[in-house]
Amino acid sequence: MRHRTTREEAAAGLARLEGYLLRRAEQQEAEVHAEAFVARMPWLTTAQREEVIRLYVQDRIAYSTAALRRVAERCHQLRTEYSARYAHLRNRLLKTATASFLGATAMCVLVVELARSR
């Protein structure tokens, strides 16, 4: 089992911190929008108002989480697809370069042999 380096641990810690801060920002934004939403319904009791805010925030967080998961899945798909394309192009370039080098070498040998035969 490979142990994590200090740099890897620091990067993982920063990623967790960033995730936490993004979640908190989304939570706060959802709460602000929920407050604005219930402000348009002055007839709600305090308990109803709190429940609508709670449900609004819950739905918003669930929607945001699902959207982020879809984006992450698509990023993973694209990374896999582009990595495969890159590997294919790299192999094709290597084969073309090798063939060109061999062709140029053969031409040089042919020119040398023709020059010697004269």
pLDDT in tens, 44-96: 999 999 999 999 999 999 999 999 999 999 999 999 999 999 999 999 999 99
Is the residue at 104 inside a domain? no
Residue 11 structural domain: 7-87
Total domains, the chain: 1
pTM of the model: 0.65
Is the residue at 101 inside a domain? no
Q: Which helix (H) or strand (E) holds 14?
A: helix 6-39
Is the residue at 38 inside a domain? yes
Is the residue at 37 inside a domain? yes
Is the residue at 19 inside a domain? yes
Local structure of residue 3 (DSSP, 8 states)? P
Query: How confident is residue 118, by pLDDT bands cut at 50, 70 and 90?
Result: confident
Local structure of residue 40 (DSSP, 8 states)? T
The pLDDT of residue 95 is: 97
The pLDDT of residue 91 is: 97
Provide mean pLDDT across the span 12-41.
94
Question: Does residue 4 register a pLDDT over 90?
Answer: no
Tokens standing for residue 82: 């582009």
Is the residue at 28 inside a domain? yes
Q: What is the C-alpha separation between 34 and 28, in angstroms, rounded?
A: 10
The pLDDT of residue 2 is: 67
